[in-house]
Amino acid sequence: MDNLTVFTEFLLMDVTASRELQVLQGVLFLVIYLGALTGNLVTVTVIVTDTRLYSPMYYFISNVALIDLSSISAVVPRAVVNSLTGSRVISLTECASQIFLVTMCVAVESALLAIMSYDRYVAICHPLHYGLIITPSLCSQATTGSWASGLFFSSVHTSTLFRRPFTKTNVIQQYFCDIPQILRISSSDVEYSEFVLLAHPLLSVTSDSAETSRWADMDNLTVFTEFLLMDVTASRELQVLQGVLFLVIYVGALTGNLVTVTVILTDTRLHSPMYFFISNVALLDLSSISVVVPRAVVNSTMGSKTISLVECATQIFLFTMCVAVEFALLLVMSYDRYVAICHPLHYGLIITPSLCSQATAGSWASGLVYSAVHTSTLFRLPFTKTNEIQQYFCDIPQILRISSPDVQYSESVLLAVSVCLVLGYFVFMFVSYVNIFSTVLKIHSVEARIKAISTCTPQLAILLLLLISGSVALLGPLPKEPSLKNLLTAMFYTMVPPFVNPIIYCLRNREINAALQKMFSR
């Protein structure tokens, strides 16, 4: 656009116009920088050279010192040069590099401080098992994971901030480039995307309301407040038959999962961490299918096609939460099986009731936050393209198809982050099960080997089913018109896992099988 100026460099603030004070500021910055440089280098050198400090705690401290050294080096040397030379200009590339490095250092240090708190917890609360839990391998993996997560986090933030040209102004009210100042001069869609990444979707309610008003004021747009769900057929008989089929599947899943939970609660032999997690997965399966199928049954039998905006958002929120929590629990269950089979003598010391409760609560909390961010992103702007959903329920791909470009971009960023998290979870589970099966193969007793494998196969089967159904949902072609293939695909990833999982427990787990026989023989 001819009336817009695209800025490729920024002007940093000057507290004073006096050259003497600017030079004094530069000298002050230099003294602070040299002090920080010396202090952190001495810390790292002492830890590296003194063998008495070769322990996990000091290993983490040396990493924090390196991060502090890197973060101050990303900002202060340039500020010193600017103050001494009187320069105020910084290029777009240099600004992006500053934000990337500082953000990465802060993210890595936060992750390391979380790890250090766990290290101190084990050292003080479980001193006899400190060496068994906090191993050199665990320390290396935790540190590598912290750096990798910080690198990824910073990359996403920086690419989001600088994805659009700057046209408002190029004046930065700070002596270096930082996120709040860049956000202030960014375009509105960049601001929203960054707020989503910072996990504060509610901060943008005001701006979203203004955006909604802007959309509503446009006379040539229709804002939809309800959606039309697909009908595979116009025949009322076939619609009723579809409703009956959905009802049969739902009742089967409901019965199977309720029986699983009841058996685990009533049989004291199943009061162990593994079955505690299985009962949670059964509750999640029961919840996920209850979110979607009852409404689909009513729609099919009554011939209704409409669903309100609030109901649609509720479906997406609850279904996404259930899937996210289940995946997190499967991650926890893989670690539970790893400890049980690879470190059986320390199982009771590591997998405590307190740890199980915390892991389960964490899984539910993470799923809740994850789903809230996705749902608020999808429904932040009005729908003006169309209100037809080519599916028998509301799901993310269909809502994305009829969303505005801004929402599609924001959601694509969130989905990219989600894929990376899932890949990280999958790598952790893959390593756990590789260690499990390598340990099982070393067991000489055939009976013990079969028993060990039987405790893992249900989780593996559920994980495989979840991954296949998720791949079908996300990687399959997006339907643009109703079809039987589309209906069957949706049934596969919404109904099959909750229906099949109880069958997997019963067929592949001897303890649940025995408990079921005992319960029904009373």
Residue 89 is given by DSSP the state E
Strand ranges (E), 269-353? 306-308
Contacts of 211 (CB under 8 A, 6+ apart): 188, 380, 381
Claim to verify: residue 130 and residue 237 sit in the same structural domain = no
pLDDT score of 287: 92
Final residue in a domain of this structure, among 186, 215, 245: 186
Beta partners for 91? Answer: 9
The more confident residue out of 232 and 464 is: 464
Claim to verify: residue 171 and residue 232 sit in the same structural domain = no
Claim to verify: residue 241 and residue 167 sit in the same structural domain = no
Claim to verify: residue 345 and residue 252 sit in the same structural domain = yes
Claim to verify: residue 415 and residue 499 sit in the same structural domain = yes
Starting at the earlier edge strand, list the strands of the sheet with 89-91. Answer: 89-91, 9-12, 171-172
**Of 195, 9, 185, nearest to 96 (Cα)?**
9
Claim to verify: residue 179 and residue 290 sit in the same structural domain = no
pLDDT score of 272: 87
The more confident residue out of 32 and 475 is: 32
Per-residue confidence at 478, pLDDT binned at 50, 70, 90?
A: low
Q: What's at 216, amino acid-wise? A: A
Cα angle for residues 103, 104, 109 (degrees, 5° grid): 100
Whether residue 219 is contained in a domain is answered as no
**In the predicted model, what is the mean pLDDT of residues 279-286?**
91
Task: Supply 58's token pair.
Answer: 């000091």
**In the predicted model, what is the mean pLDDT of residues 420-427?**
82
Claim to verify: residue 230 and residue 158 sit in the same structural domain = no
% of the chain at pLDDT higher than 90: 11
pLDDT of residue 332 exceeding 80, the answer is: yes
35-44, 92-101, 198-207: range with lowest mean pLDDT: 198-207
Cα angle for residues 419, 371, 360 (degrees, 5° grid): 90
pLDDT of residue 152 exceeding 70, the answer is: yes
Final residue in a domain of this structure, among 133, 162, 186: 186
Per-residue confidence at 250, pLDDT binned at 50, 70, 90?
A: very high
- DSSP element (H, E) containing 229: strand 226-229
pLDDT of residue 190 exceeding 50, the answer is: yes
The more confident residue out of 320 and 191 is: 320
Cα 206 from Cα 90, distance rounded (Å): 32
Cα 296 from Cα 174, distance rounded (Å): 55
Whether residue 65 is contained in a domain is answered as yes
pLDDT score of 3: 59
Per-residue confidence at 474, pLDDT binned at 50, 70, 90?
A: low
Task: Supply 375's token pair.
Answer: 């749902």
Claim to verify: residue 230 and residue 339 sit in the same structural domain = yes
Whether residue 210 is contained in a domain is answered as no
Claim to verify: residue 248 and residue 127 sit in the same structural domain = no
Q: Kindly report the three-state secondary structure assignment for every residue of 237-261.
A: HHHHHHHHHHHHHHHHHHHHHHHHH
Helices (H), 379-404: 396-401
Whether residue 252 is contained in a domain is answered as yes
| Tokens 């209906």, residue located | 487
Claim to verify: residue 233 and residue 166 sit in the same structural domain = no
pLDDT score of 140: 86
Whether residue 13 is contained in a domain is answered as yes
- The interaxial angle of helices 484-494 and 273-302, nearest 10 deg, is 150
Whether residue 435 is contained in a domain is answered as yes
User: Are 157 and 103 in contact, with CB atoms under 8 Å apart?
Assistant: yes
Per-residue confidence at 508, pLDDT binned at 50, 70, 90?
A: low
pLDDT score of 411: 78
Number of compact structural domains in the chain? 2
Per-residue confidence at 6, pLDDT binned at 50, 70, 90?
A: confident
Whether residue 200 is contained in a domain is answered as no
Cα angle for residues 243, 247, 252 (degrees, 5° grid): 155
The more confident residue out of 453 and 280 is: 280
Whether residue 216 is contained in a domain is answered as no
pLDDT of residue 217 exceeding 50, the answer is: no
The 3-state DSSP class for residue 7 equals strand
Final residue in a domain of this structure, among 155, 171, 186: 186
- We report the CATH number of the domain holding residue 97 as 1.20.1070.10
Residue-range definition of the domain harbouring residue 368: 226-520
Claim to verify: residue 90 and residue 150 sit in the same structural domain = yes
pTM as predicted: 0.60
Claim to verify: residue 142 and residue 257 sit in the same structural domain = no
pLDDT score of 208: 41
Per-residue confidence at 216, pLDDT binned at 50, 70, 90?
A: very low
